[in-house]
Chains A and B, each alone.
Chain A
Amino acid sequence: MGTIVRFLYRLRLFFLFVLLETVAIVLTIQQSAYHQASFFNSSNAVASGIYKKIADAHYYISLRSANDSLATENARLLSMLYSDTLAITDSMKFPSDVLSYSFQSARVINNTTAFRNNFLTLNRGSLQGVRPRMAVVSAQGAVGIVKDVSDNYATVISLLNKNARISAKHTKSQTTGTIIWQGGSYQFAELIEIPIHVKLKVGDSITTSSYSNIFPEDIFIGKVSKVEKTDGASTYEIKVKLGVDYKQLTFVNLIDHHGQLERDSLETKLNFNE
């Protein structure tokens, strides 16, 4: 009798264990679903409130470098504004298309780089007009895509994430590929799908392509740092040094693409007709 009781007692523990693990696994899977605005992430009120305190402290400590980068950005904008030659090439480069995007600045209040899937939390939310699938960029280049939004906070899938696949192009040849991140160093990503007939050099710029319905065209992503050709493969293996230093991110811009919904629904129709 005693053995049976002990056996059942052990089994009861095992059931509790299985139950807890199931809950944990369900939560994990929910988290990775693209549009899941779940309670259990850092855009909920308590977590983001505490993160804001931590970020405020960090913000104060890093004021000096934040000022430096703002000053550099100001200088760059001023020089664009007052330089005649740039103004001309600018108006040729960006057609009226540029009007279909609007910008909004935000502060990064949490940021990870060590995991396989990394996220940022921003201090702007739906009350400020942020919605999922907005692009996030910094002065140094593309940062990520908005995932979940609460009233005053938003979480962002950074480029350092398995779910971030961003259409990119080699600027010189205008060939498009895809930027992915396979883990490891936060400074490097991979550019795939570039065929081997394209002439590539270390140092060439990689920017976002017009195929992306999230990022505007020609947003800087990074520079080619290593090119490899495997025997028999039809595409290069390219390592890209990212322009954004994820450890130094303080301010970012959110980009609202006004035509996004229209283009999305038009392109979805295409799939139905097939």
Chain B
Amino acid sequence: MNDLIKHIVRWLFLVLLQIGIFNNIELAGLFNPFVYVFAILVFPLGMPRSLLLILAFITGLTIDIFSNTGGLHAAASTLLAFIRPWWVGITIPRTNYDELQNIRIKDIEFGQFITYTVLLVGVHHLTLFWGESMSWSDFWLITGKTIINTLLTVVLVVAFRYFDFSSSKTA
């Protein structure tokens, strides 16, 4: 129960942070990290896949409503949620994988967490920026934005993970 409340609070916090602050920090029209993906990344590993898909869709749609982007974030987030279980199987070693029902995202090693994050965030951002532009003429702009913002989001996600850690230790 305690965990559930924590997930809800974290979700609300990240969505508000995204629409209130990060959607407005747009240096040179290039830097636009999407920190809300952290909420989807840290949903429990044992969560049923269908629930994961629906929650990711709702998360993306919430961001869409506030950014006038139709269903772009919903599409990108749903894709992220769809490949997440497959990518967990690859990045997190078999020994831990057996206890996957109980394991929490914070029990995963740092290196594994980075690999886990980079691909999922990259796929999410690529879908988002490409879907927004919908044309090949902006190819380099899209590639550039994807790489820069993936790095930026990953850095922020790692920072958030440490924040999660320290708050759980003191609690």
Give the B-binding residues of A (Cβ under 8 A): 12-13, 16-17, 20-21, 23-32, 40-42, 44, 46-47, 50-51, 54, 112-117, 119, 155, 182-186
Contact = CB atoms under 8 A, between A and B. Distances in A.
Given A116-B138, A186-B29, A28 B75 contact: yes
B75 A185 contact: no
Contacts of B70: 24, 27-32, 40-41
Interface of B: 19-20, 23, 26, 28-32, 49-50, 53-54, 57, 60-61, 64-72, 74-75, 78-79, 82, 129, 131-133, 138, 141
Contact of A24 (B23, B54, B74): B74
Given A112-B26, A116-B132, A184-B29, A21 B68 contact: no
The dominant DSSP class at the A interface is helix
Nearest to A157: B68
A234 B30 CA distance: 32
Contacts of A32: 70
9 contacts: A17-B82, A20-B53, A24-B71, A41-B70, A114-B26, A116-B129, A116-B132, A117-B132, A184-B141
Contacts of A112: 23, 26, 67-68
A187 B12 CA distance: 33
A12 to B, nearest CB: 8
Given A116-B133, A183-B141, A16 B74 contact: no
Contacts of B138: 116, 182-183
Contacts of B54: 16, 20
B67 to A, nearest CB: 7
